[in-house]
Amino acid sequence: MTIAPAPMKALTRWGVLCAVGLLAACASGPPTPEWQMDAHGASQKAQSAYLAGDNRVEQLEWTRAREALARTGRLDLLARLELLRCAGRVASLVFEPCAAFEALRRDAPASEKAYADYLAGQLAAQNAAQLPPAQRSVAQAGAGLSGIPDPLSRLVAAGVLLKTGRATPATLSVAVETASAQGWRRPLLAWLMVQAERAQAAGDTGAAAALQRRIAIVERGGKPD
């Protein structure tokens, strides 16, 4: 996701959050305001903690990020933060309503409203042009995930494909490989479980058993049986 409305230029283009298109503090020129650094640092830690499966740190850091943005009185920035949070959940196959964003939708830019609809699997065709280029190619043409360089954005696109019933075995393989390479425990477990369910449904008991062994390793966190 690379949402970068003009008023948010100073908050984009940084690391994972740059690739997702949200909340970064890396503008050159005048010193970066403290609230931007606080919001960026906390949101990055929160997303990393969520993907790693650390709920306690995740909740703590999202709260810090919200508090930093609340100091500005900018509802559009708070809406953007909530959209970032929901993107991480779609990447991990947690398909729940993005309620906190919806409460702020009226103050969000059109591009972010379109992205929220995309995450929900409800994007209107005429709004696809509002998406970032990588996600737009997936939404409009069903392009492959290999053209999305950022791991989190790639997982988000894979999640949307699964949610909308367009995920192929190759989609699942890319998602598993992506989450595994990053050491992201939460999405890795989710995608492995989908692979295992499909293998079992196809009658491929050998593949299903191998996937269950991988799942057990991730669940145990490396601890012996």
Task: In whole angstroms, give the CA distance from residue 167 to residue 160.
Answer: 8
pLDDT of residue 19 exceeding 70, the answer is no
pLDDT of residue 90 exceeding 50, the answer is yes
Task: In whole angstroms, give the CA distance from residue 99 to residue 108.
Answer: 14
For 128-173, write each residue's pLDDT tens digit. Answer: 989 888 788 787 766 678 778 899 999 999 999 999 999 999 999 9
pLDDT of residue 20 exceeding 80, the answer is no
Spatial neighbors of 201 by CB under 8 A, at least 6 apart, are none
Task: In whole angstroms, give the CA distance from residue 189 to residue 183.
Answer: 11
Q: Please, what is the angle between helix 133-141 and helix 151-163, to 10°? A: 20
Over residues 71-84, mean pLDDT? 95
CA atoms within 13 Å, Cβ hemisphere of 179? 31
- Kindly list the domain boundaries of the chain, sorted by start residue: 6-171
Task: In whole angstroms, give the CA distance from residue 56 to residue 135.
Answer: 30
For 159-214, write each residue's pLDDT tens digit. Answer: 999 999 999 999 999 999 999 999 999 999 999 999 999 999 999 999 999 999 99
Return the closest-CA partner of residue 46 out of 10, 4, 9, 82: 82
